[in-house]
């Protein structure tokens, strides 16, 4: 009986030891699996983190490049400003001897910054209460600001002119007619006032001296003059 109990106890211990060893092996396998999974998850996390960092860095670099392109004056699109060079003017004038007007065509012969020398070629006509008047050709040169400036709505200038007139003059009081040639030299100052993008209104104040020649006769006079008109630029 005693041997039977001992044998049974030994078998129980042996079975218990086998069960313990099997459980220990299972625990070890589970630990190894968890360790492997942890390592794999860690590596995947690191790879994802690095990938996100690279993507963010590329996005930042692209945004900076775009910002630099937008801020670079060479890459920015600037509206093209119109550069008006030519102009046609209609004007009228009044002085102590004559009332008249004319039309002229002008263009710059020198331009640098806000300084311009402009040449005017025109046709003028004039008369007074005692004569039917006459016409002629005018040559004028101005010095100063351009006739149109995007920075300043009012641009001052000075000018001088030379007129050569040829035609007939009939005296209303006597009915006498005479062919004559007139020479006029004058000068003054004026301002251009911007009205529209392509036009200006101008006012000029100055003086002149005229010599008229008909046959052997010579007549001369001097006077102040005020002129005003519009200029259309293209």
- Alpha helices for the chain (secondary structure H): 2-71
Does 56 or 174 have the greater pLDDT score? 174
What percent of the residues of the chain are helix, what percent strand, and what percent coil, each to the nearest 5? 30, 50, 20
Q: What is the pLDDT of residue 152?
A: 83
Cα dihedral 62, 66, 68, 69 sign: positive
pLDDT tier at 130, thresholds 50, 70, 90: confident
Residues 38-42, mean pLDDT to the nearest whole number: 51
pLDDT at 134 over 80: no
CA distance 104 to 232: 11
Q: Which residues touch 117 (CB under 8 Å, ≥6 apart)?
A: 108, 109, 110, 111, 141, 142, 143
Distance between CA 139 and CA 102 in Å, rounded? 12
pLDDT higher than threshold 80 for residue 48: no
Report pLDDT digits (tens) over 165-183.
877 777 777 777 778 888 9
Pick from 109-123, 137-151, 152-166 the range whose average pLDDT is largest. 109-123
Residue 109 is inside which H or E element, if any?
Answer: strand 99-112
Q: Indicate whether this model's pTM tops 0.75.
A: no
At 13 the pLDDT is: 47
Helix ranges (H only) for 72-196 are: none
Separation CA 140–CA 124 (nearest Å):
12
């Amino acid at each position: 009986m005693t041997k039977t109990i001992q044998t049974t106890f030994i078998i129980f211990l042996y079975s218990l030891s086998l069960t313990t060893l099997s459980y220990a092996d299972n625990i070890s396998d589970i630990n190894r699996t968890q360790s492997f999974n942890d390592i794999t998850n860690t590596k995947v996390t690191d790879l994802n983190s690095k990938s996100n960092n690279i993507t963010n860095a590329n996005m930042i670099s692209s945004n900076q490049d775009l910002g630099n392109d937008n801020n670079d004056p060479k890459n920015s699109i600037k509206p093209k400003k119109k550069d008006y060079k030519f102009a046609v003017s209609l004007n009228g004038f009044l002085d102590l001897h004559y009332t008249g007007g004319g039309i002229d065509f002008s263009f710059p012969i020198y331009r640098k910054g806000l300084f311009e020398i402009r040449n005017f070629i025109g046709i003028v006509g004039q008369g007074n209460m005692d004569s039917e008047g006459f016409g002629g050709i005018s040559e004028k040169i101005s010095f100063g600001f351009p006739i149109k400036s995007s920075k300043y709505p009012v641009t001052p200038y000075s000018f001088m002119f030379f007129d050569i007139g040829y035609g007939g003059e009939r005296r209303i009081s006597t009915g006498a007619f005479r062919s004559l040639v007139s020479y006029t030299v004058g000068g003054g100052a004026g301002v251009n006032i911007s009205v529209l993008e392509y036009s200006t209104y101008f006012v000029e104040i100055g003086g002149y001296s005229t010599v008229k020649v008909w046959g052997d006769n010579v007549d001369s006079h001097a006077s102040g003059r005020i002129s005003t008109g519009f200029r259309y630029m293209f």
